[in-house]
Structure 1
Amino acid sequence: MTLAPQASPRQRIATLIHDPDDAWRWMRGINGPHELKVPRPRDLAFRHEGTALGNVAIGILEYATPVNIQVKDLAHSYSISLPLSGIQHIEHQQEDFASDAATGAIISPHQPLRLTMAEDCRKQLVRLSREAVEHRLAQLLGRRLTAPVIFDPRMPVDGALGDWWKTVAHLQEMLGAEGSMCDLPEVWGNFESGLITSLLYAQPHNYSGELLGRHEQRPGYLVQLEAMMRESLDQPLSLEDLEKFSGVSRERLYQDFHAHFGAAPIAHFRNLRFEWVKRRLEHAGPRESVSSIAMDCGFLQLGRFSKDYQKRFGERPSQAIGRHAGSGVPAVRH
């Protein structure tokens, strides 16, 4: 079995194992402590292929024979899986549910459970480091955490969670490509943060009430200020403009923006503007061009815009234009 580092920070995951002890050691190194029982060891053909980078590992895993996995505490990681074929069963406290292509599963640190995989179960597996998840949640809450983040183990694949798994598939494709933009730390940092942030908002956990409450209970001036920002995305707003409109001190402005948006005021405005121009490009009509849309959205330095867009989204603006043209989704600012 091999986990060979590449010239880039990415690590390729590729192994085929027939010995249960070797399979156990392999997965212990990937996810953390667990017990593995293989009723038919001679039938074991454990495969794990994918890529690890930073605080994330994404891959495809199968055992090709029924296995029972007992987890007491993964300690340092979150193991998130979604069967592409077959079924796995999860037993957690008094809850027992089947995980298939419509229902994923999350194993959190400090969360004991039992997992049984059928012989035809082949699943997508995502590993997130505990440190990265806790760090991002602390940023969103604006305080230190007092307990581990424990997700509900059952993960229905619909709505926001369906979008989350689509993001996983997209990142898996990027990670597997040679010369990927993921090798740029700034780019991958944004992808990694977005993957963790969206999971924290989409999947229930023991901090969800506080997180969503903080999101919904923004100060009134902040709601009005963000609305103004969304209506002024094509304008060159400055920090002084935001400070004047809000009527609060610059210190409080920075504090509230970091607490509720996880970014400084101008950085959040820039994020909104990039989201807007991305939608405009993807829904562009045949007579629209990258330059006209960029300038319409307030990006006047086209060379810099193209570079910043590629760093942020992993593709050139010209690759995005017209992608969803005719879908009927309006390219609105909010």
Structure 2
Amino acid sequence: MWDQRTAAFGPRSCHYRTTALGGEDATILDGALLTDMQGRPIRQTGPTSSRDWDEVQAFCRKVYMPYRVRPAAPRLLPAATMRMAQVGRVTLTRFAYGVPIHLDRFDPEAGNILVLNTLTGALRHKQDAERTATTRAGDSFVVDCSRTDYWLDGDGDHLQLNLTIPHDAMAEIAMRWLGFVPDDRLWTRRLAFGGNGSRWQALLAYVVQSLEASGQVRGAPPMARHLEELICMDLLQIWAEGAGISLRDGARMAAPRHVRAAEEIMASEARDPPSMAQVADRVGVSVRALSEGFRRFRGMTPRDFLRARRLEGLRAALRAAGPGDSVTSVAADWGYVNLGALAQVYRARFGETPGQTLAAARARG
């Protein structure tokens, strides 16, 4: 735990940086989620500060996940800062407990990745079985709490600009842009990175500048999707570099033959897809082995992969629809009969409804 007087750490702690936050990007981040670029206060529903542990924990469960918090001393009340904004599927928070704390037992079932970006004070993070990493103003730390355990200590001066990113969102964007999902060599790596003048700090400043007084992103949802993909792809690249993992084609080929063969079958036959048992039989493995291969090397199930290919195929069909085609007819041609359920998953994936895709295609035509 922290020494309450000096916030000193033990001998195995590696200090990642010791400089103060500075520069134009740092100035922007200092006011993150307080005012927009026009100087207008950013509004938020609900309390933005609290001295009640239950209220603070309710906020944390909402924006991060369930976990255990222990203050450095009994009967120590928080002086919390609690601000949030949504950027696509990424939750952005300005947060501090206002007192020294220890956090652990992060719930893996929540399925979330945390990126902790320190504005003031310091955090000490579990990095591996033997080492810790200390991050200070300007530094960042990433951990996938759905794939590995984690704990942290925070001093009484800590103030964070944090990101909560669903693991599934990262996996989906990786598949879309890279053609594969990194395996657990990446997701289980806890990494300190960033620093003053880094591209990550510049990206955070850009994201913060895009927020309006309403706490929304200008031009959302297209702008929100753009920022979400920028955040996830830049984080993937930084994370992979720190973990010593290549994101080039060689990483894709690391998957076993039956996984790659199954991908080819499902991608080419997405319109009239075979069952998982049929796919497994055609590539020469059991359904269980196929599922395990996808989980390990793609970070998703075979059905998730097929579902994504089918949605992409439907989107392409809507964009190429003829004058007499409707959403109903195109969707039926792809085997979709519940248009209400389809609209929900389609919008979650592409940020628009099937009808909007069709209308945009006709406007262009």
* TM category, shorter: 0.5 to 0.7
Residue 19, structure 1, aligned to residue 52, structure 2 = yes
If asked which structure has higher relative contact order (CA below 8 Å, sep 6+), I would say 2
Question: Match of 2:233?
Answer: 197
- CA distance 1:120–1:146, shift in 2 (3 Å): closer
- CA distance 1:181–1:56, shift in 2 (3 Å): closer
CA distance in 2, matches of 1:132, 1:169: 22
Question: How far apart are 1:204 and its partner, in Å?
Answer: 2.7
Question: How far apart are 1:119 and its partner, in Å?
Answer: 0.4
Q: Where does structure 1 lack aligned partners over 5 or more consecutive residues?
A: 1-9, 218-334
- CA distance 1:18–1:203, shift in 2 (3 Å): same
Q: Is the 8 A contact 1:167 1:195 kept in 2?
A: yes
Q: Is the 8 A contact 2:85 2:215 kept in 1?
A: no
- CA distance 1:116–1:180, shift in 2 (3 Å): closer
Q: Secondary structure at the match of 1:68?
A: strand
Q: Secondary structure at the match of 2:157?
A: coil
Question: Match of 1:124?
Answer: 161
**What does 1:220-259 correspond to in 2, within 5 Å?**
none
Residue 76, structure 1, aligned to residue 117, structure 2 = no
**Counterpart residue type for residue 85 of structure 1:** T
- CA distance 1:42–1:151, shift in 2 (3 Å): same
Q: Find 1:51's aligned residue among 85, 90, 102.
A: 85
Question: Match of 1:113?
Answer: 150
> Normalising by the residue count of structure 2, what TM-score does the alignment of the two structures yield?
0.50
> Normalising by the residue count of structure 1, what TM-score does the alignment of the two structures yield?
0.54
Question: Match of 2:65?
Answer: 32
**Counterpart residue type for residue 152 of structure 1:** R
- CA distance 1:58–1:141, shift in 2 (3 Å): same
CA distance in 1, matches of 2:207, 2:223: 12
Q: Is the 8 A contact 2:85 2:93 kept in 1?
A: yes
CA distance in 2, matches of 1:52, 1:37: 28
Report the number of matched residues. 207
**Counterpart residue type for residue 210 of structure 2:** M
Question: How far apart are 1:198 and its partner, in Å?
Answer: 1.1
Q: Find 1:177's aligned residue among 213, 217, 232.
A: 213
Q: Is the 8 A contact 1:57 1:126 kept in 2?
A: yes
Percent identity (aligned):
15
CA distance in 1, matches of 2:101, 2:84: 21
Question: How far apart are 1:57 and its partner, in Å?
Answer: 1.5
Q: Is the 8 A contact 1:20 1:38 kept in 2?
A: no
Q: Find 1:136's aligned residue among 170, 173, 187.
A: 173
Deviations for 1:34-74, whole angstroms, at most 9, x for unmatched residues? 11112344431111113123211222111111111003444
Q: Is the 8 A contact 1:14 1:47 kept in 2?
A: no
Give the CA RMSD over aligned residues: 3.2
Structure 1 range deviating more: 18-27 or 184-193 = 18-27
Question: How far apart are 1:209 and its partner, in Å?
Answer: 2.5
Question: Match of 2:193?
Answer: 156
Q: Is the 8 A contact 2:142 2:192 kept in 1?
A: yes
Question: How far apart are 1:123 and its partner, in Å?
Answer: 1.4
Q: Is the 8 A contact 1:72 1:111 kept in 2?
A: no
Q: Is the 8 A contact 1:66 1:118 kept in 2?
A: yes
- CA distance 1:85–1:147, shift in 2 (3 Å): closer
**Counterpart residue type for residue 99 of structure 2:** T
Question: How far apart are 1:100 and its partner, in Å?
Answer: 0.7
CA distance in 2, matches of 1:99, 1:61: 16
Deviations for 1:97-132, whole angstroms, at most 9, x for unmatched residues? 111124311121222111010001111111112221
Question: How far apart are 1:142 and its partner, in Å?
Answer: 1.8
Q: Secondary structure at the match of 1:175?
A: coil
Question: Match of 2:98?
Answer: 64
Q: Is the 8 A contact 1:37 1:69 kept in 2?
A: yes
Deviations for 1:230-277, whole angstroms, at most 9, x for unmatched residues? xxxxxxxxxxxxxxxxxxxxxxxxxxxxxxxxxxxxxxxxxxxxxxxx
